[in-house]
Chain A
Amino acid sequence: MTTESVSKGCFVFKPSTKKKKMTFTAADYFGEHVKDSKDSKVRFETCQTLWQQMKSEAEKLQEDLNRKVFDSLLEFIRKSHSNLLEKMDEWRHRMRATEIPAAALVLGVNVPDHAMTFQILSEQLRESVTPYVVSLEAKECQGVKHILQKVFGQLLGHSIRLEADDETDVQLHPAELRQKKMLCSLASLADWYTSVKRKTVSVMPGKKRSSPTAGHLQTPPVVIIFKDLESFHAKVLQDFIVICSQYVNQLPFTLIFGIATSSMTIHKTLPHSVSSLLCIELFQSVSCTEHLAAVIDKLVLTHSFPFRLNGKMLQVLITVFLYHDFSVRNFIKGLQLCIVEHFYSQPLSILCCSLDEAENRTKNLTHEKCEMIRQLPSFMRYVENQEPEKQVELLTSDTFLKKEIKTLLRHLHNYHENYIPVLRCLHALTTSLPKFPLGKQIREMHSACLERNVWESEEYTSAFQLLRMMAKDELVAALQKCCDVLKTSGVKQQADTLTKVEEFIDQLQKLDKIVEDETVAQKSLQKKTDLYQLQKTLLEMKDSRKSKKLSKFETLRLEVLDFIDSIVRMHLKPPEVMPLYEVVYFSGASTLRKHLNAAPRIALHTALNNPYYYLENEELKSEAGTISNSAPDICIAYKLHLECGRLINLCDWLEAFATVVAAASGVDPESDLVAGQVDETIHARFIRAVSELEFLGFVKPTKQKTDHVARLTWGGC
């Protein structure tokens, strides 16, 4: 390329944007490996719609969970200043110090989730309380100056937008704004606020507005949100609060502190002289474990979504949550990954949709797809158990197979429909047991059921042993809970179960009278207070108890538990026994683990030790432990350095390197070494490889020995 410039120098040529770029959409990636592009497109669309449904469900859930704390917070903000303004003239309010209302919002340590929460919060504030909302993050606020700049930017920027909407004459000219930005003192902010207030007051009565400002107060407070209080510099925060307190009469500030750890942080960061300027109220949001339970309840333990996770997957996701980050957002992202991966990797996932739709799609299955289904392990197992004629039919006739698939899919659907209410019933029964043998949370029980036949496990037997000792009122309460669960589930097949359980409750309650009669009899015995008599009767009673088989209650209790055991055995089978379960269950635990648990060190080691893994160049393929000659220089240097001790002699290293490289290029290595001189290019390549290793943190220069470098990793020799 040429330039018109006469001077010498470097010129940057931007690549022309007109060049046609091959851009892949997500849908294209789906069809990459499959010949049948129409199918993959359908799968992609199913995946998208399913995810959209789940996402909106999750969002709704989050909103509901936050509602309580947000409502009280908004109420607090609304009230905080109106209280002060009304009673300004009273003696009591004249005497008391003007405190800045502040809300301490404790959100828990799941920091990644907070962004979402704050976004919703500020939206709600803007909608219903005040247009003046500023949110600050610690990393943008290194000094008071930065805080003020942020506050100015967000407040004035907003007001300009408002005015542009109203199409009134723009009050703040850009020049004026620039000047104000340069000043950035609260004094000018206070001026701005009074001018805006005066204006809105004069505008308000004349115009009827149906805009969101309708809910705003006459003097809307200026809400400043500190998203992460812990990370703010204590000094900066203190200074800012001190300045604010000087202006609080002109500018109705309200502060919101987002706290991740505990409310003690406020006392730690602010000394008494500063915290005495604040009027702090505490708001506690839902804990993240509760949040997760709700999310699992809505997204996993439901039959409204066709997609399902198998036990291992659920375990991986929950482990990441409990052991690593407590982040619900990441959990949902993981779920999304599962969905995408499932639809991408499993061609039969085309049937993973609502029952009606799936039946439709079954009709249009191609022959290859049918073959795929025949090869599914679960289907093969199913075929084996059929009669020989049917086996032949299934394996040869596509139309017969399709019919069978329909019924199997319906079975699968019914299984899911029944599974969840029964699981909830079992949970309701066992939560009141001591030590929670089957798990405290329903998710633990769910993953136990997914893994194997739950009734064969030790925990299950011990739980039932405990249940057999349950008192009557406890049992009735638990059964009542089961009833509620069954009623709300609204599954048809469970109607029988429901009536049966209701009967049991009825019978148990009827027992009351009989038992009472017995106790009355006992009481009449107790009235005779003769010691000898008493001893005698007691002995009698003891004998009778031993001999007596079981009371009515006890037999009934056994009956109830046997019934429950039977429905558990019927409905809580692990999904693997259902034919065609592969269609809706995602089982790539290792893929998921690989994606979620990024391991930088292992990846680096693999890349250097086995370059074929990432480069996929056939030449680089080599057996474990050997160095391919044609590998990149850095890989050779890395392999060689693995064989060294803590200090590496650079000269030896270079010689070894030269030998390997020379072997690759086919030059007789002896000739060079005799001369004691290494080829200059090889030398340069070596130096570059070593400095790359240094950059990656494997070696570092040392002063302990000349011409040596220190190794920073363990292992090797």
Chain B
Amino acid sequence: MMTSLEHPGYPQDGLLRLEEKLLCRESQVSLLLSLFGEPHQYSYPSIFIYGHTTTGKTYVMQTVLAELELPHAFVSCVECFTSRMLFEHILNKLQSYVTSSEISQSLYISCDSFSDFVRLFKQLISHQDLKNQTFYIVLDKAEQLREMEANLLPGFLRLQEMTDANVTVIFLTEIVWEKLHPNMGCFEPLILYFPDYSKVELQKILSHDHPSEYSAEFYAAYINILLGVFYTVCRDLKELKHLAAINFAKFCEPVTKDEATESDTRKLWKNIEPHLKTAMQTVYLREISSSQWEKLQQEDREAGQLKGLSAYAHVELPYYSKFLLIAGYLASYNPARTDRRFFVKHHGKIKKTKFLKKHEKTNNHLLGPKPFPLDRLLAIFYSIVDSRIAPTANIFSQISSLVALQLLTLVGHDDQLDGPKYKCAVSLDFIRAVARTVSFDLIRYLYDFL
């Protein structure tokens, strides 16, 4: 069985440990190792690894580099959100390898631009300690690079060429290369795909780490049931692991109470299955938190007693704010030309089909809200509110507080003072609930429902 991972450049025990740790990723690891070559050999300048979330990209890279004790810098691009932080992180990591022998120069390196980075990098890497090794830079969540300076990605792709040093840059991301592709003429990296784990593989990985009190078979049976419920909705390994951990106590309950033995699968299944289904509707959606879920289990209550986050969808609003919101909704979903029909008393008869252009015949609720100017909002507002209200600052400040609450959104730039435009950002259900509280017949005013 030792054949799966074998490489002359690396010690045997390191490879063994790798194999133990990296389940179901043997082919990818061996491919990577053969790409890396022996430590002193130059590797391919840049490698692009992509795959769906939790397919083990980060974990594989981290384990390989750590177990084989290869010099590397591991950078998360979300964390280092400016190029400067990125450079400094890499350089300081590199320096830590160099200064392991000479503690005197432990100064913090600061670096602002790519050219500086290349210069400093060259200086450091030419050091004796790193002479015969390949240095690896891993850029995790590389899709973030798209939002940084334009020269970063092409630069890192050609880092080996520019520094003329033994360095390999590895990109880890969830998106395909074509989407990241900067522009013409950049260096094409070697593209590697990490496929999703299959159900069998998930089963194998999840049952690998079983609690010491119970046998491996018992835990494997549990994982099997868990996957049966969750596999259709969730393949996220981390999430599954988490769910397995918080629900295991419930699964063991019959055994601890001596109502069933470990081999009594049917009974155990009957016990856990409905429980897992409620878990899918609550914990998995983060309707209630995991700690609340565990508390519920301990107290042996039904999850229904604890209301989830979505149960509190009701929003209380001041009276005129409600009308402003309704006016905003009407302005967003009715074509401006129809306002006459809805809000002028003697509008005469206008047939729906006659006076509209073709593109206006599509359902506005399918197209989403359209922007409208402030004047239109106020005009509709004044015509739907029964009483006469002066246009006081109170009314205007309510509009801005609706924007702050994200019920209306400001279209265009913040600092446009004259004629700001808004969009209504609430759903039909929400606005109907609001309209009901002020007994306003919303549907009668909506063009789509004529």
Give chain A's interface residues, CB within 8 Å of chain B: 80, 83, 91-93, 95-97, 99, 101, 104, 106, 108-109, 111, 143-145, 179, 183, 185-187, 228, 230-231, 239, 242-243, 246, 260-267, 272-273, 275-276, 278-282, 284, 287-289, 320-326, 597-602, 697
Q: Is residue B404 contacting chain A, with contact meaning CB distance below 8 A? A: yes
Q: Is residue B211 contacting chain A, with contact meaning CB distance below 8 A? A: yes
Which residues of the other chain, A, contact B238 by a CB distance below 8 angstroms? 97, 276
In whole angstroms, what is the CA distance A275 to B80 when docked? 21
CB atoms of A266 and B309 under 8 A apart: yes
Given A106-B312, A261-B405, 20 additional A-B pairs, CB 8 A: A91-B245, A95-B244, A99-B289, A109-B321, A179-B108, A183-B85, A185-B85, A239-B81, A243-B76, A260-B404, A262-B315, A264-B310, A275-B286, A282-B309, A287-B316, A320-B394, A321-B318, A322-B318, A598-B393, A598-B394
Which residues of the other chain, A, contact B321 by a CB distance below 8 angstroms? 109, 324
CB atoms of B404 and A92 under 8 A apart: no
Q: B344 to chain A: closest CB distance in Å?
A: 15
Q: B26 to chain A: closest CB distance in Å?
A: 24
In whole angstroms, what is the CA distance A288 to B317 when docked? 10
Q: A103 to chain B: closest CB distance in Å?
A: 10
Question: Which of A95, A262, A597, A697 sits near B418, CB closer than 8 Å?
Answer: A697
Which residues of the other chain, B, contact A697 by a CB distance below 8 angstroms? 418
CB atoms of B212 and A91 under 8 A apart: yes
A324-B318, A324-B320 in contact; A109/B286 too (CB < 8 A)?
Answer: no
In whole angstroms, what is the CA distance A261 to B313 when docked? 8
A266-B309, A284-B312 in contact; A92/B245 too (CB < 8 A)?
Answer: yes
Question: Which of A242, A272, A321, A599 sits near B391, CB closer than 8 Å?
Answer: A599
Which residues of the other chain, A, contact B392 by a CB distance below 8 angstroms? 597-600
Q: Is residue B164 contacting chain A, with contact meaning CB distance below 8 A? A: no
Which residues of the other chain, A, contact B398 by a CB distance below 8 angstroms? 324-325
Give chain B's interface residues, CB within 8 Å of chain A: 53, 76, 78-82, 85, 88-89, 108, 209, 211-212, 236, 238-239, 241-242, 244-246, 248-249, 285-286, 289-292, 309-310, 312-321, 390-398, 401, 404-407, 418
In whole angstroms, what is the CA distance A96 to B293 when docked? 13
Q: A85 to chain B: closest CB distance in Å?
A: 14
Which residues of the other chain, B, contact A325 by a CB distance below 8 angstroms? 318, 394, 397-398, 401
Q: A214 to chain B: closest CB distance in Å?
A: 27
CB atoms of B211 and A273 under 8 A apart: no
Closest to A185 in B: B85
Question: Which of A111, A239, A263 sits near B309, CB closer than 8 Å?
Answer: A263
Q: B75 to chain A: closest CB distance in Å?
A: 11
CB atoms of A242 and B309 under 8 A apart: no
CB atoms of B310 and A263 under 8 A apart: yes
CB atoms of A145 and B316 under 8 A apart: no
In whole angstroms, what is the CA distance A323 to B397 when docked? 12
CB atoms of A97 and B286 under 8 A apart: no
In whole angstroms, what is the CA distance A95 to B395 when docked? 53
A267-B310, A325-B398 in contact; A95/B245 too (CB < 8 A)?
Answer: yes
CB atoms of A97 and B242 under 8 A apart: yes
Question: Which of A92, A246, A264, A284 sits near B248, CB closer than 8 Å?
Answer: A92
Q: A65 to chain B: closest CB distance in Å?
A: 16
A243-B79, A597-B390 in contact; A323/B404 too (CB < 8 A)?
Answer: no
In whole angstroms, what is the CA distance A440 to B286 when docked? 38
CB atoms of A231 and B404 under 8 A apart: yes
Q: A414 to chain B: closest CB distance in Å?
A: 38
CB atoms of B390 and A602 under 8 A apart: yes
Q: B234 to chain A: closest CB distance in Å?
A: 9
Which residues of the other chain, B, contact A280 by a CB distance below 8 angstroms? 286, 289, 309
Question: Which of A93, A275, A599 sits near B393, CB closer than 8 Å?
Answer: A599
Which residues of the other chain, A, contact B418 by a CB distance below 8 angstroms? 697
Closest to B242 in A: A97
CB atoms of B312 and A262 under 8 A apart: yes
In whole angstroms, what is the CA distance A272 to B241 when docked? 16
In whole angstroms, what is the CA distance A187 to B79 when docked? 9
In whole angstroms, what is the CA distance A106 to B108 when docked? 44
In whole angstroms, what is the CA distance A183 to B392 when docked? 47
Closest to B206 in A: A95
CB atoms of A243 and B394 under 8 A apart: no
Closest to A287 in B: B316
Which residues of the other chain, A, contact B89 by a CB distance below 8 angstroms? 185
Which residues of the other chain, A, contact B245 by a CB distance below 8 angstroms? 91-93, 95-96
In whole angstroms, what is the CA distance A99 to B245 when docked? 13
In whole angstroms, what is the CA distance A323 to B438 when docked? 12
Which residues of the other chain, A, contact B391 by a CB distance below 8 angstroms? 599, 601-602
A97-B239, A109-B316, A276-B286 in contact; A104/B309 too (CB < 8 A)?
Answer: yes
CB atoms of A282 and B312 under 8 A apart: yes
Which residues of the other chain, B, contact A111 by a CB distance below 8 angstroms? 401, 404-405
Which residues of the other chain, A, contact B390 by a CB distance below 8 angstroms? 597, 599, 602
CB atoms of B317 and A109 under 8 A apart: yes
CB atoms of B78 and A239 under 8 A apart: yes
Which residues of the other chain, A, contact B291 by a CB distance below 8 angstroms? 80, 83, 101, 279, 281
- Which 3 A-B residue pairings sit nearest by Cβ, starting from the closest? A95-B245, A598-B393, A96-B245
CB atoms of A230 and B394 under 8 A apart: no
In whole angstroms, what is the CA distance A242 to B77 when docked? 11
CB atoms of A246 and B241 under 8 A apart: no
Which residues of the other chain, A, contact B80 by a CB distance below 8 angstroms? 185
- Residue among B246, B290, B317, B405 facing the most chain A CB atoms (10 A cut-off): B405
Closest to B314 in A: A262
A104-B309, A597-B392 in contact; A145/B289 too (CB < 8 A)?
Answer: no
CB atoms of B407 and A242 under 8 A apart: no
In whole angstroms, what is the CA distance A282 to B407 when docked? 21
A96-B245, A281-B291, A281-B292 in contact; A324/B394 too (CB < 8 A)?
Answer: yes
